[in-house]
Chains A and B, each alone.
Chain A
């Protein structure tokens, strides 16, 4: 029984991961995710050293964009493409439960999208360290903070875009509006308004993990636990809601 379920997980998550990493859309997100590497590589090539301060500024400036684009492109298509290609109706009548279907697809997305986002950050970090001659281990907590932010962000944004992708035909448009208006404007507004944006929680994770640079100056009242927990709860709620939609909405073979 467990072996059979494991087989279903590897099959579905594997196909999702393969599509995420190697499809044409996957190639586009790789190009976007590699932005930090181009920028920092360009700065180094121009003869300037990239210290940990500059590394933080550049990654922070680009991370939101990379997270939103990667999660939007891959999270929203998890079910939207299945609906548009008429493959979901068949899939939901086959030997896999609907809960597993949602969970395994999301996990397949999560692993592969995380790889797309974190690999360039790690490569950029080591490139920056090499440019200054500072041992890579010296500021490793900064790298750890960014990887943690990416890990939580890919889950939270991915969950939301999974839900939007299932519920809305114009998921990409809705996702772009959310990602680039809501998540850009709300974090910089005064008072408690930033609490309504995932970006605020992600930056609060960084603030709690590092003691130097721009991240450490982020204005937040959130502790690390809350900053991690809330986005993960958002992800879980969105994945759960997608499951509810899947079991309540009747999938047509010609949607």
Chain B
């Protein structure tokens, strides 16, 4: 079942097109990473989906509710949690009071609210600081409070806009671990990020955006779709004769030497590797080992952005 769906979603600011022809389909329970450079339209998309701004054209649905239609918007707010770019916590209020305030606005009954706040603050390790004003918290602690604030009413969907932006590496890791935990709880998560390793580690599926959606799928699917398979031949010495011999093979698409290793792009490595090995040996090369080249998300991402540009 599609839990989040956008149809030709578009948003402009004056002459500037922030998001165009966005067609997304995100299933219930998915952790979807929305990946793109700064200014790609990620935040604008989340702001539309969380009913903060209206689309210029196109439609978007969250759990069957149409974004921008007033009775539906209230349902969307009730079923979603949102971590904005800036946490926007009440600095003078304590951590527990911040959560209690939003729990009340959501109409969470007092007994459940108290239990939920205790559960969430214990989960993020801030239960002992529950009565401290948020103004006294570090950036990482505030971010964690802002994330659990989005969960105080136990929403089905979480929109997280750059949850680790501006955090030091250790705080960012804490938040990332936290996102992995959230994913394992079965929540549908829409994660805005420009951090590739974060997207790869946390998400089940990725959408790459640069104003328009460039691609979506699992990292493996994207690699298979956008990158040619390649084999890496570790040689005692990668001589020019060896390179020429391999390059002369019909099925080899590209060959180059990198750190003393021969990188060979080809359609079907399983089929082509024995013939390449023979050609290498015939040219006087000595093979130490052969491995399949790992196709990272980074290569896919850069390739997609390059193509889009």
Question: How many positions in chain B have a CB within 8 Å of any CB in the partner chain?
Answer: 26
> 1/0 per residue B149-189: CB within 8 Å of A?
00001000000010000000000000000000000000000
For chains A and B in complex, what number of residue pairs have CB atoms within 8 angstroms? 65
Identify which of B77, B84, B107, B153 contacts A89 (C-beta below 8 A): B84
Question: A232 to B85, alpha carbons, bound, how many Å?
Answer: 39
The answer to whether B105 and A253 touch across the interface, beta carbons within 8 angstroms, is: no
A94 touching B84 in the complex, CB below 8 Å, given contacts A8-B107, A250-B52: no
Question: CB-CB < 8 A to B102: which residues of A?
Answer: 94
Question: CB-CB < 8 A to A253: which residues of B?
Answer: 84-86, 88, 161
Question: CB-CB < 8 A to B153: which residues of A?
Answer: 95
Tell me whether B123 is interfacial, beta carbon within 8 Å.
no
> 1/0 per residue A72-90: CB within 8 Å of B?
0000000000000111111
A11 touching B52 in the complex, CB below 8 Å, given contacts A86-B88, A90-B82, A93-B82: no
The answer to whether B85 and A254 touch across the interface, beta carbons within 8 angstroms, is: yes
Identify which of B74, B82, B91 contacts A97 (C-beta below 8 A): B74
The answer to whether B84 and A7 touch across the interface, beta carbons within 8 angstroms, is: no
Question: A10 to B84, alpha carbons, bound, how many Å?
Answer: 25
Question: A94 to B90, alpha carbons, bound, how many Å?
Answer: 15
Question: CB-CB < 8 A to B82: which residues of A?
Answer: 90, 93-94
The answer to whether B107 and A94 touch across the interface, beta carbons within 8 angstroms, is: no
A90 touching B88 in the complex, CB below 8 Å, given contacts A95-B74, A95-B78, A250-B52: yes
The answer to whether A95 and B84 touch across the interface, beta carbons within 8 angstroms, is: no
Least distance between A190 CB and chain B CB atoms (Å): 48
Nearest opposing residue in chain B for A3, CB measure: B107
The answer to whether A95 and B106 touch across the interface, beta carbons within 8 angstroms, is: yes
Question: CB-CB < 8 A to A94: which residues of B?
Answer: 77, 82, 102, 105-106
> 1/0 per residue A101-143: CB within 8 Å of B?
0000000000000000000000000000000000000000000
Beta-carbon contacts under 8 Å, A200-252 to B: 250-251
Question: CB-CB < 8 A to B78: which residues of A?
Answer: 95
Q: Is the interface of B mostly helix, strand, loop or mixed?
A: loop
Question: A88 to B161, alpha carbons, bound, how many Å?
Answer: 16
> 1/0 per residue A1-18: CB within 8 Å of B?
000100110111001000
Tell me whether B94 is interfacial, beta carbon within 8 Å.
no
Question: CB-CB < 8 A to B105: which residues of A?
Answer: 8, 11-12, 94-96
Question: CB-CB < 8 A to A87: which residues of B?
Answer: 88-90
Interface residues on A, range: 20 to 34
Question: A97 to B50, alpha carbons, bound, how many Å?
Answer: 14
Question: CB-CB < 8 A to B53: which residues of A?
Answer: 250
The answer to whether A95 and B88 touch across the interface, beta carbons within 8 angstroms, is: no
Question: A23 to B51, alpha carbons, bound, how many Å?
Answer: 32
Tell me whether B122 is interfacial, beta carbon within 8 Å.
no
The answer to whether B86 and A86 touch across the interface, beta carbons within 8 angstroms, is: yes
A93 touching B86 in the complex, CB below 8 Å, given contacts A15-B101, A250-B52: no
> 1/0 per residue B80-118: CB within 8 Å of A?
001011111111100000000110111100000000000
Least distance between B153 CB and chain A CB atoms (Å): 7
Beta-carbon contacts under 8 Å, B36-82 to A: 47, 50-53, 74, 77-78, 82
Question: A87 to B88, alpha carbons, bound, how many Å?
Answer: 4
Least distance between A25 CB and chain B CB atoms (Å): 12
Least distance between A248 CB and chain B CB atoms (Å): 10
Question: A97 to B51, alpha carbons, bound, how many Å?
Answer: 12
The answer to whether B52 and A251 touch across the interface, beta carbons within 8 angstroms, is: yes
The answer to whether A85 and B91 touch across the interface, beta carbons within 8 angstroms, is: yes
| Given A87-B89, A89-B88, A95-B74: 4 more A-B contacts, CB < 8 Å | A93-B50, A95-B106, A250-B52, A253-B85
Q: Please list 23 pairs of residues, one from A and one from B, whose beta carbons are closer than 8 Å in the complex, sorted by A's number.
A: A4-B107, A7-B107, A8-B104, A11-B104, A11-B105, A12-B105, A85-B88, A85-B90, A86-B86, A86-B88, A93-B51, A93-B82, A94-B77, A94-B82, A94-B102, A95-B77, A95-B105, A95-B107, A95-B153, A250-B52, A250-B53, A251-B52, A254-B86
